[in-house]
Amino acid sequence: LYTGKLIGHLVTLKYGKETQPVIAKDIQFDPVSDRPLHFDLMRVGAKEEIKIEIPVAFVNADEAPYTRQGGMLEVVRHTVEIMVRADRIPAELVVDLKGREIGENIR
């Protein structure tokens, strides 16, 4: 809950005898006590296609030729929006920077 890993993951909500697959869209915390105050949940079917934002992770930046040439990575977006089945949401989109040259764009 406090690591942010709940947002964007399919979980099963149990209420009484009923269960429902949901995705947490937002969590609000008390600014003083840091206790959760409010959850925004989206009801989904496990096989339903949904639009969701996932984080982008960059790997092998130290092995990219642009770093040896004095270049640097300019990240424009830290998340991307994807269409995916609710039961197949990836934790992140991994971008391998190995072999990337100065001036290259990743789209």
For residue 61, what pLDDT is reported?
Answer: 84
Strand order in the sheet with 18-29: 10-15, 18-29, 36-43
Q: CB within 8 A of 85, min separation 6: which ones?
A: 46, 47, 48, 49, 50
For residue 44, what pLDDT is reported?
Answer: 92
Number of structural domains, the chain?
Answer: 1
Within 10 Å of residue 40's Cβ, how many Cβ atoms?
12
For residue 1, what pLDDT is reported?
Answer: 63
Q: Is the pLDDT of residue 5 over 70?
A: no
**Which residues constitute the domain of residue 25?**
10-96
5 is a domain residue: no
Report residue 59's pLDDT band, with 50, 70 and 90 as the boundaries.
very high
102 is a domain residue: no
